[in-house]
Chain A
Amino acid sequence: MKMSGANIMLECLRREGVRHIFGYPGGAVLPIYDALYGYTDIEHVLVRHEQGASHMADGYARATGQVGVCLATSGPGATNLVTGIATAYMDSIPIVAITGQVRTSVIGKDAFQEADITGITMPVTKHNFLVKRPEDLPRVIAEAFYIARSGRPGPVLVDIPLDVSLTKIEWDPETYTTQVNIPSYKPTTRGHEMQIRKAAQLIAEAKRPVLYVGGGAISSGAAKEVTELAERTNILVTTTLLGKGAIDETHRLSMGMLGMHGTAYANHAVNNCDLLIAVGARFDDRVTGKVDKFATGAKIIHIDIDPAEIGKVKVPDVPIVGDVKTVLTELLKHVQPRPWTEWNDQIMEWRARFPLIYPRDGKLYAEYVIEQIGEVTNWEAIMTTDVGQHQMWAAQYYKCRRPRQWVTSGGLGTMGFGLPAAIGVQKAFPDATVVCLSGDGSFQMCVQELMTATVYGLPVITAIINNRSLGMVRQWQEMFYEERYSHVDLQASPDYVKLAEAYGGVGMRVQKPEDLRAALEEAVKIRNRPVVLDCVIPTEENVYPMIPSGQSIDEMKIRENLEELKATVHADSETWSFSDEEKVLEQYVEAVRAAEARKEKE
């Protein structure tokens, strides 16, 4: 049957299982938008800025594990996608970005709205294509989706010139296949048998092992295997920012996040371990700090699907290239149960000594907002974040119960990511409670997408942690630049309540902790439009603990009044519904008792 390139492309997308496209029209994609007119199998979401479209596709992909799709016109439309594509690239998120291009006859002639988008995105895509003939479209689309989702996932861009979408050719949709064969691209998924045995041996011999789990465990769908490995061996787990949810963070074996703003106990554990089992993690500088001083006494097992990650930062003793889930499944066949050990007690002791804690002095704090979001939503809300202090507080205090419940821009650290990502998530899961935790800096970077949420009736809740300043930069200026607060005071901001209303959503302001609960309970009941919760917190609050950039745990900064806080928070615990601290102590006491019982037996 005769079909235009645009129709062929849509047919291919449908056959790839695409149900949503986030996009924005323009001259070079007119044929594609014409094909979308009245096309009911795929829902198009009209955004307000192409950057929003790329983050929505990203959020959609992170929450579902499916490939997210965004669409933009040539030139500025395409370049506006770049930040979102780079965000997905740094975090290995599968998206396919489709861009229009000027006619093939004028490519390279500085035509109107021409940009060399395949050239521009070369360093931030896993691969990209410029389609020069409509006959190539089915193969290219199939390859694009295959490359995006397989191996180490990542963004793929497909650039389609106007004449390629316009031209009609003979094509039978039944010939389309999602199975592709690219001879030069064969990701290794099965780990090496010998290496896996060696890893099991190291685990059996280790006295002080730690599991260090990254985003690879999430993208490979290995949460169950990670948890099983931890439970069988009683090895405590720390996750990276992107690994959150690989184990239930309320699990007795979870230490939360490690690294610059990770928990002190996770960092102490990693620093003192004799075996570090890195699972789908890449030893990012925000995790390691000074590499020479990171896990110095430890042997390292490194499981990753990307061979280039092995030895990039730290040379492992046992490298295993393969899909995390496949490798862990094999590994579990060789791993013997281990008891709770003194090492575990030691970590629990660190945990009790350096808990995550914040003042409870009648002021509203970000940490409290985050805990209450968890409480009100039964810790089931899918949380997206922007970037900055609020993101780190959320990483510390939002306890993910499952994978894909946590959507954040880690590698690139993209402010403005949170709201559009939340819209992408909500589109995938219309019934879920989706909360975007944002800052007053980040929120304004993609605020226009509130309109998109209103138009599509999406009840995303944005909680703005409003400190009237660019808090993370301010924190660095305070600590490392002699309190020279250069251009971090926002001076004036819109009235976020009125702003939300202007966009057709609901706005609320919370200034006191006692008002928060009611506001949140009201917010989660609204199911047909976006809600903005302006949470006003003190400007001077910093994120603790903190290991300064490029340094080691020896330089870790903790709250100066930690001991005082530990005492007061306990005295006050009845008025506060959730006390992480208390839970930790209970677990610690339990652990100590278990250890004593064991000793008595011996």
Chain B
Amino acid sequence: MATAISNTIMAQMQQQHVITVLVENHPGVLARVAGLFARRGYNIESLTVSVTDDPQVSRMTIVVGEDHRVLEQVIKQLHKLIEVIRVADYAEFPAIERELALIKVNADPRHRREIMEIAEVFRGRIVDMSDKTFVVEVTGGTEKIDKIYELLSAYGIREMVRTGVIAMARGTKTA
């Protein structure tokens, strides 16, 4: 079962692109971007929004589940939104991609040791603990988080939350 999920995720990976969209920090911009994806039928795998070093500018990191031809359209259509300043496709240069996950996993006293070891291997941390559960915090690329999720599934996951991918170009290049 776990492997099956993983294969599905891997298959999707072939079709995933991370793009960064710099937008004017105006009310309603998120609605414009989300609305564009909805009405043109583009798939969003994840979307994160936050301010940048310039308070006038917000940054959206979007994981798009489409092939290259559609991705090109996505980028061009995004450019047409008046408040979109820049769109960068991270397939075009080396980039760091990260997301953060909080995983609430059943932690029966018999398994606590094992779970802590798994967390350690993945450089995660136990950030909360009850008599029945741990909350594991882990940061990394999507694959890494999928992997720890898969391993922790064996103990029974009660809840998981992921931030979605954020990305930054390596070296001196900026978006």
A122 part of interface (Cβ distance < 8 Å): yes
Q: Is A513 an interface residue when CB atoms closer than 8 A count as contact?
A: no
Q: Determine whether A149 belongs to the interface, using a CB cutoff of 8 Å to chain B.
A: no
A306 touches B73 (CB 8 A): no
**Chain B residues, Cβ within 8 Å of A312:** 73
Quote the shortest CB–CB distance from A561 to chain B (angstroms): 44
Residues 290-318 of A contacting B (Cβ, < 8 Å): 306-308, 310-312
Q: Are B80 and A123 interface neighbours, CB within 8 A?
A: no
CA distance A307 to B24 in the complex (A): 21
Q: Is A480 an interface residue (CB 8 A)?
A: no
How many residues does chain B have at the interface if contact means C-beta atoms less than 8 Å apart? Answer: 19
Residue contact A147 to B35, C-beta cutoff 8 Å: no
Closest residue of B by beta carbon distance from A156: B82
Contacts A118-B28, A183-B85 given; does A306 touch B80 at CB 8 Å:
yes
Question: Known contacts A122-B31, A123-B35: does B73 contact A308 (CB below 8 Å)?
Answer: yes
Q: Contact at B77–A308, with CB atoms within 8 Å?
A: yes
B84 touches A123 (CB 8 A): no
Confirm or deny: B72 has a beta carbon within 8 angstroms of a beta carbon on chain A. yes
Q: Which single member of B31, B73, B77 contacts A119 (CB below 8 Å)?
A: B31
Give complex CA distance A127, B84 in Å.
Answer: 12
- Mark each residue of chain B from 25 to 62: 1 if its CB lies under 8 Å from any CB of chain A, else 0: 00010011001000100000000000000000000000
Q: Quote the shortest CB–CB distance from B83 to chain A (angstroms).
A: 6
**Are B82 and A147 in contact (CB-based, < 8 A)?**
yes
The size class of the interface chain A forms with chain B is 10 to 19
A307 near B39: Cβ-Cβ < 8 Å: no
Q: Taking the complex as formed, is B123 at the interface, i.e. its CB lies under 8 A from any CB of chain A?
A: no
A184 part of interface (Cβ distance < 8 Å):
yes
> Could you give, for residues 142-156 of chain A, a 1 whenever the CB lies within 8 Å of some chain B CB and a 0 otherwise?
000001000000000
B84 with A184: CB separation less than 8 A:
yes
Task: Give the chain A neighbours of B35 by CB distance below 8 A.
Answer: 122-123
Contacts known (A118-B28, A119-B31, A184-B24); A126 close to B76, Cβ less than 8 A: no
From 71 to 102 in chain B, residues with beta carbon under 8 angstroms from any chain A beta carbon are 72-73, 76-77, 79-85
Q: Which of B73, B77, B85 contacts A184 (CB 8 A)?
A: B85
Flag if B76 contacts A184 (CB, 8 Å).
Answer: no
Name the CB-closest residue of B to A128: B28
Residues from chain B with a CB closer than 8 A to the CB of A127 are 81-82
In the bound assembly, the distance between CA atoms of A119 and B30 in angstroms comes to 12
Q: Say whether A576 faces chain B, with CB atoms less than 8 Å apart.
A: no
**Chain B: which residue is nearest A147 at the CB level?**
B82
What 1/0 mask marks residues of chain A from 173 to 201 whose CB sits below 8 Å from any chain B CB? 00000000011110000000000000000
A122–B32 touching, CB < 8 Å:
yes
Q: Verify A311–B72 contact, CB threshold 8 A.
A: yes
Q: Which B residue's beta carbon lies closest to that of A152?
A: B80
Q: Is the CB of A307 within 8 A of B76?
A: yes
Instruction: Compute how far the CA of A127 lies from the CA of B76 in the bound complex, rounded to whole angstroms.
Output: 16
Q: What 1/0 mask marks residues of chain A from 90 to 103 whose CB sits below 8 Å from any chain B CB?
A: 00000000000000
Does A308 contact B79, Cβ atoms closer than 8 Å?
A: yes
Looking at the assembled complex, report how far the CB atom of A104 sits from the nearest CB atom of chain B, in whole angstroms.
12
Residues of B within 8 A of A310 (CB): 76
Taking CB atoms and an 8 Å cut-off, the chain A residues in 85-130 that contact chain B are: 118-119, 122-123, 126-127, 130
Minimum CB–CB distance from B28 to chain A (whole Å) comes to 7
* B41 CB → nearest A CB, Å: 12
In angstroms, Cα B28 to Cα A117, docked, is: 13
Q: Which A residues lie within 8 Å of B73 (CB)?
A: 308, 311-312
Tell me, in angstroms, the Cα distance from A25 to B20 when the chains sit together. Answer: 44
* A184 contacts B28, C-beta separation under 8 Å: no
A227 and B5 CA atoms in complex are apart in Å by 60
Beta-carbon contact of A308 and B80 below 8 Å: yes
What distance in Å separates the Cβ of B114 from its nearest Cβ neighbour in chain A? Answer: 50
**Docked-complex contact A123 and B39, CB < 8 angstroms:** yes
Residues of chain B within 8 A (CB-CB) of A118 are: 28
Residues of B within 8 A of A306 (CB): 80
Complex Cα spacing A127 to B26, Å:
13
What's the nearest-Cβ distance from chain B to residue A307, in Å? Answer: 5
Q: How far is the CA of A264 from the CA of B31 in the complex (A)?
A: 45
The answer to whether B82 touches A185, judged by C-beta atoms less than 8 angstroms apart, is yes
The residues in B between 93 and 128 inclusive whose CB is less than 8 angstroms from any CB of A are none
Residue of A nearest to B39 (CB): A123
How far is B76's CA from A185's CA once the two chains are assembled, in angstroms? 13
Minimum Cβ distance to chain A for residue B42 (Å): 13
Contacts of A130 in B (CB 8 A): 28
Q: Is the CB of A184 within 8 A of B82?
A: yes
- Output the least CB separation between A280 and chain B (Å): 16
Residues in chain A near residue B24, CB distance under 8 A = 184
Whether A308 lies near B82 (C-beta < 8 A) is no
Find chain A residues with CB under 8 A from B76 CB: 307-308, 310
Rounded to whole angstroms, the CA-CA distance of A242 and B53 in the bound complex is 46
Task: Please give the distance in Å from A53's CB to the nearest CB on chain B.
Answer: 24
Further pairs besides A123-B35, A308-B80: 16, Cβ < 8 Å = A118-B28, A122-B31, A122-B32, A126-B82, A127-B81, A127-B82, A182-B82, A184-B83, A184-B84, A184-B85, A306-B80, A307-B76, A307-B79, A308-B73, A310-B76, A311-B73
Name 6 A/B residue pairs within 8 A (Cβ), A-sorted.
Answer: A122-B35, A123-B35, A126-B82, A127-B81, A127-B82, A310-B76
Which 8 residue pairs are nearest across A and B when measured between Cβ atoms? Answer: A308-B76, A184-B85, A127-B82, A185-B82, A123-B39, A307-B76, A308-B77, A122-B35
